[in-house]
């Protein structure tokens, strides 16, 4: 049992309760974000400290402060005339009445009575709320300032689209890697990762340190790495399972309209794409690029000269992408689908083609086709009453480029995010500018994990619609610049700030993948 911190003196359900600290409790030991339990008369409440403040019984004390250089006076006044108060948001009821014991933590619908005792949450309390590591739950980190494990139910997590946000350099990539490993181990879902910066497949970078191992090195049999840039993969010593090439004939007008901003196309040019596609068919890109001027346009097409030039310039940018070929010998979608069907996670590395045009084009094209496959298979399975395909999670970076309000309606990702789990496909969105993402898409995300954000618009967009927003806002803005994150939403019973588990040391690899070859690696380190 932990010692009593203080007692509840006032509060409301909406705003949380005020706790007056006992004189024996030092206010400087109280930290925002720490968990406490409140022993009500009938129920036990579980909540988080969201504010810490100083109070005094007589305002004149602030005008004529006592002589605190005398330790006696200071000690007498501490906790009596001057005292600390905590603001606690109770968020769950743990135990007390029968339903709470049977069904586990319940959301609060009332508040504790006056003068209920407040204590620090014990390990058991936190485990009761966040669970312990088991077949379904995956340990992702420790709540701030606590030694207990924060475990996520990943089966539950992948049922909805999720988001990981945070400024550049706050640890989004590390967090994503941990989450991907978790999904790989503890859920039935397979992952398709569009890996723009080559961070997830073979090895990832670490600021001021040697590279860290990524998925393929830890789970060779369960991860396949595809690349767009074979040469680069060879240079980096990555063993790939396939090379993705895209034929001109695989590109459709919808793919171009998504690239409108990056290719700097006018609205008319995008309109012209559809006309040209209707006229030329699958070979439209080559045919359009071969046109020498408006006079060569087939009959029935009225495209202004400037528009055509604008379009040709844009298409030439695409043609210059090295992985684009007139005709692709292998069907990349097919190859990736085969892996996914076998339950193998697929990481698509972009090699040197980190250009946003390439990323948007490829991610969108592949996802659309894979999603179409899934859609038809789910529909068939439902019609026959047979097993649905394995859930698929598509991981995309720089999500605001796909999901901004202008294009979210057109891209496949907008559709996936909105229709969610209907077809067993969900998104894992990684982004540094959440304010750039369509609010409709944001509102459909199940669980959000956010590292430090300091732009007001980003913070507002991440926290939109969450209860206790103001409290979370202050927690979020006080996260450390690195390795601290706030998680809230569907997969956790209450919002919690946490420190992601360690990733990158030999021991951490062993914890993730307790297998023989990793053990060998560790032994090698000692040699």
Write out the residues near another protein by the rule CB under 8 A: 23, 57-58, 60-61, 64, 66, 70, 72-73, 75-77, 79-81
- State the minimum distance, in angstroms, from the CB of residue 140 to another protein: 44
- State the minimum distance, in angstroms, from the CB of residue 85 to another protein: 16
Closer by beta carbon to another protein, 61 or else 316: 61
The CA distance from 270 to 182, in Å, is 41
- State the minimum distance, in angstroms, from the CB of residue 23 to another protein: 6
Contact 141, 147 (CB under 8 A): no
Taking CA atoms, 225 is separated from 77, 191, 230, 301, in Å, by 66, 12, 11, 43
Closer by beta carbon to another protein, 77 or else 218: 77
Contact 139, 170 (CB under 8 A): no
Contact 374, 265 (CB under 8 A): no
- State the minimum distance, in angstroms, from the CB of residue 114 to another protein: 18
The CA distance from 204 to 483, in Å, is 16
Closer by beta carbon to another protein, 54 or else 76: 76
Token duo for residue 361? 């084009």
Closer by beta carbon to another protein, 12 or else 64: 64
The CA distance from 465 to 188, in Å, is 30
- State the minimum distance, in angstroms, from the CB of residue 65 to another protein: 11
250 CB-near residues (< 8 Å, 6+ apart):
328, 365
Residues present in the chain in total: 527
- State the minimum distance, in angstroms, from the CB of residue 62 to another protein: 11
Look at residues 239, 220, 277 and name the one whose alpha carbon lies nearest to residue 518. 220
The CA distance from 119 to 112, in Å, is 13
Contact 108, 64 (CB under 8 A): no
- State the minimum distance, in angstroms, from the CB of residue 88 to another protein: 24
Closer by beta carbon to another protein, 80 or else 110: 80
State the burial class of residue 102 (Cβ atoms within 10 Å of its Cβ: 0-12, 13-18, 19+): exposed
Closer by beta carbon to another protein, 81 or else 110: 81
Closer by beta carbon to another protein, 23 or else 185: 23
């Amino acid at each position: 049992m932990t010692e009593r911190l203080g007692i509840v003196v006032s509060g409301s359900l909406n705003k949380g309760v005020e706790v007056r600290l006992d004189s024996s409790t030092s206010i400087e030991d109280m930290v925002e974000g720490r968990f406490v339990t409140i022993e009500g008369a009938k129920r036990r409440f579980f909540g988080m400290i969201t504010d810490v403040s100083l109070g005094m019984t007589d305002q004149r004390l602030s005008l004529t402060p006592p002589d605190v250089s005398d330790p006696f006076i200071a000690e007498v006044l501490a906790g009596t005339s001057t005292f600390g108060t905590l603001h606690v948001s109770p968020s769950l009821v743990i135990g007390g009445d029968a339903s709470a014991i049977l069904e586990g933590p319940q959301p609060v619908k009332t508040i504790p009575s006056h003068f209920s005792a407040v204590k620090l949450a014990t390990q058991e309390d936190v485990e009761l709320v966040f669970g312990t590591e088991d077949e379904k739950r995956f340990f992702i980190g420790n709540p701030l300032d606590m030694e207990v494990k924060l475990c996520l139910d990943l089966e539950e997590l992948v049922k909805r689209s999720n988001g990981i946000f945070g400024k550049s350099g706050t640890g989004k990539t590390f967090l994503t890697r941990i989450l991907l490993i978790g999904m790989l181990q503890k859920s039935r879902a397979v992952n398709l990762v569009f890996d723009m910066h080559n961070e997830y497949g073979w090895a990832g970078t670490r600021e001021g340190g040697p590279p860290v191992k990524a998925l393929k090195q830890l789970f060779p049999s369960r991860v396949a790495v595809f690349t767009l840039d074979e040469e680069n993969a060879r240079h980096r010593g990555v063993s790939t399972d396939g090379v993705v090439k895209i034929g001109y004939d695989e590109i459709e007008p919808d793919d171009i309209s998504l690239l409108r901003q990056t290719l700097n196309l006018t609205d008319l040019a995008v309109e012209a794409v559809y006309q040209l596609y209707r006229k030329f068919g699958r070979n439209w890109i080559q045919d359009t690029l071969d046109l020498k001027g408006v006079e060569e346009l087939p009959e029935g097409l009225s495209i202004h000269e400037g528009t055509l030039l604008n379009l040709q310039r844009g298409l030439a940018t695409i043609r210059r992408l090295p992985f684009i070929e007139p005709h692709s010998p292998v069907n990349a979608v097919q190859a990736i689908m085969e892996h996914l069907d076998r339950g193998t996670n697929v990481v698509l590395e972009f090699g040197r083609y980190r250009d946003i045009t390439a990323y948007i084009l490829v991610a969108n094209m592949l996802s659309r086709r894979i999603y179409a496959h899934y859609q038809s298979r789910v529909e068939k399975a439902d019609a026959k009453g047979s097993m649905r395909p394995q859930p698929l999670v598509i991981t995309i970076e720089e999500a605001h480029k796909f999901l901004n309000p202008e294009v979210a309606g057109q891209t496949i990702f907008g559709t996936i995010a909105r229709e969610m789990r209907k077809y067993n496909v969900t998104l894992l969105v990684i982004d540094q500018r959440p304010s750039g993402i369509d609010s409709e898409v944001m509102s459909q995300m199940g669980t959000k994990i956010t590292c430090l954000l300091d732009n007001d618009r980003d913070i507002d967009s991440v926290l939109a619609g969450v209860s206790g927003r103001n409290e979370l806002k202050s927690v979020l803005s006080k996260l450390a610049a690195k390795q601290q994150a706030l998680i809230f939403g569907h997969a956790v019973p209450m919002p919690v700030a946490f420190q992601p588990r360690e990733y990158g040391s030999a021991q951490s690899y062993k914890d993730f993948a307790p297998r023989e070859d990793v053990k060998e690696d560790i032994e090698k380190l000692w040699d």
